[in-house]
Structure 1
Amino acid sequence: MNGAQSAIRTLADAGVDVCLANPGTSEMHFVAALDSVPGMRGVLCVDEGVVTGAADGYARMTGRPAATLLHLGPGLANGLANLHNARRAYTPVVNLVGDHATGHKRHDAPLESDIEALAGTLNGWVRRSASVAEVGADVAAAVSAAQDAPGGVATVILPADVSWDEGGEPHEAVAPRGPGAVSRRTIGAAAEALRSGEPVALLLGGEACRAEGLLAASRIAVATGARTFTETFPARLERGAGLPAVERLGYVPEHAAHQLEGVRHVIAAGARPPVSFFAYPGRRGELAPEDAAVLALDEPGQDVVAALNELAELLAEGVEPLCAKESRPDVPEGPLTAQNWVDVIGAVLPERAIISDETNTSGLMLPGAMFGSPRHDVLALTGGAIGQGMPVATGAALAAPDRPVINLQADGSALYTITALWTQARENLDVTTVLLNNRAYAILRMELHRVGADASGKKANELLDLSRPDLDFVRIAEGMGVPATRATTGGELAEQLTRAIAEPGPHLIEALVPPLL
Structure 2
Amino acid sequence: MDDHGAESTGESESTAADVILRSLREYGVEYVFGNFGTDHTPLLEAAARRREANPDAIPEFVTCPHESGALSAADGYAAVTGRPQAVFVHVDVGTQNLGAMVHNAHRGDAPVFIFAGLAPITHGEEPGARSSGIQYIQDVYDQEAIVEQYCRWTGEYRPPADPDEFVARGLELASTPRRGPSYLTATREALETPVDSTPGSHSLTDAGPVGADAATVDRLASMVREADAPLVVTSKLGANRPEESLDRLRRFAEIAGAGVVEQRPTALNFPRTHDLHVGFDSRAAMAKADLVVLADADVPWEPPSERPVDDNVSIVHLDVDPAKPQYPLWDFETDLAVRADPGTTLAAVADRLESGAGGREPGSDGDEWAPWRDEHDRRLTERSESLAEQYSGGILSPAVLTDAIDDLVDESTVVLNETTTNKRTVLEHLDLERPGSYRSPYGSGLGWAPGAATGVKLAAPDHTVISLVGDGSYVFGNPTASTWTAAAHDAPSLTVVYNNSRWNAVRTSTLDQHSDGSAAAAGVPESRFEPTLDLSHAAHVVDAQTAVVDSIDSLEPALREGLDAVERGDPAVLDVRVEQE
AA aligned opposite 1:109: Y
Q: CA deviation at 1:225?
A: 4.0
Task: Give the counterpart of 1:10 among 7, 12, 23.
Answer: 23
Cα gap change, 1:217 to 1:376, in 2 (>3 Å):
closer
AA aligned opposite 1:231: Q
User: Which residue of structure 2 aligns with residue 320 of structure 1?
Assistant: 363
Give distance in 1, aligned partners of 2:237 and 2:398.
Answer: 31
| Counterpart contact for 2:259–2:276, Cα < 8 Å | no
User: Which residue of structure 2 aligns with residue 271 of structure 1?
Assistant: 297
Give distance in 1, aligned partners of 2:104 and 2:65.
Answer: 20
Range with greater deviation from structure 2 (435-444 or 490-499): 490-499
User: Which residue of structure 1 aligns with residue 88 of structure 2?
Assistant: 69
AA aligned opposite 1:314: R
Task: Give the counterpart of 2:179 among 151, 155, 166.
Answer: 151
Query: RMSD value over aligned CA atoms?
Result: 3.1
Q: CA deviation at 1:222?
A: 4.0
Kindly report which structure 2 residues correspond to 1:136-215, keeping only aligned pairs within 5 A, or say none: 136-167=164-195, 169-172=197-200, 173-175=202-204, 176-197=206-227, 199-208=229-238, 210-215=242-247
Cα gap change, 1:514 to 1:245, in 2 (>3 Å):
farther
Kindly report which structure 2 residues correspond to 1:387-402, keeping only aligned pairs within 5 A, or say none: 387-402=447-462
Range with greater deviation from structure 2 (23-32 or 209-218): 209-218
Task: Give the counterpart of 1:379 among 428, 433, 439.
Answer: 439
| Counterpart contact for 1:206–1:270, Cα < 8 Å | yes
| Counterpart contact for 2:497–2:574, Cα < 8 Å | yes
Kindly report which structure 2 residues correspond to 1:64-463, keeping only aligned pairs within 5 A, or say none: 64-103=83-122, 109-113=136-140, 114-131=142-159, 133-167=161-195, 169-172=197-200, 173-175=202-204, 176-197=206-227, 199-208=229-238, 210-235=242-267, 237=269, 239=271, 246-250=277-281, 256-272=282-298, 274-276=300-302, 285-286=305-306, 288-289=308-309, 291=311, 292-300=313-321, 302-315=340-353, 316=359, 318-320=361-363, 334-371=394-431, 377-417=437-477, 418=479, 419-452=481-514, 455-457=517-519, 461-463=524-526
Cα gap change, 1:168 to 1:505, in 2 (>3 Å):
farther
User: Which residue of structure 1 aligns with residue 572 of structure 2?
Assistant: 507
| Alignment deviations for residues 214-234 of structure 1 (CA, whole Å, 9 cap, x no partner) | 344344434444321123132
| Counterpart contact for 2:261–2:277, Cα < 8 Å | yes
Range with greater deviation from structure 2 (364-373 or 500-509): 364-373
Give distance in 1, aligned partners of 2:270 and 2:115.
Answer: 31
Give distance in 1, aligned partners of 2:272 and 2:485.
Answer: 30
| Counterpart contact for 2:218–2:352, Cα < 8 Å | no
| Counterpart contact for 2:151–2:182, Cα < 8 Å | no
SS in 1 for 2:476: coil
Range with greater deviation from structure 2 (303-312 or 343-352): 303-312
AA aligned opposite 2:413: A
Cα gap change, 1:372 to 1:102, in 2 (>3 Å):
closer
Q: CA deviation at 1:286?
A: 4.7
Give distance in 2, aligned partners of 1:377 and 1:12.
Answer: 27
| Structure (1 or 2) with the larger CA radius of gyration | 2
User: Which residue of structure 2 aligns with residue 466 of structure 1?
Assistant: 529
* Structure 1 stretches lacking a partner, 5+ long: 251-255, 277-282
Q: CA deviation at 1:347?
A: 1.0
Percent identity over the alignment?
Answer: 23
Cα gap change, 1:287 to 1:515, in 2 (>3 Å):
farther
Q: CA deviation at 1:410?
A: 0.5
Q: CA deviation at 1:166?
A: 2.3
Give distance in 1, aligned partners of 2:248 and 2:211.
Answer: 17
TM-score, with normalisation over the residues of structure 2?
0.78
Q: CA deviation at 1:162?
A: 1.0
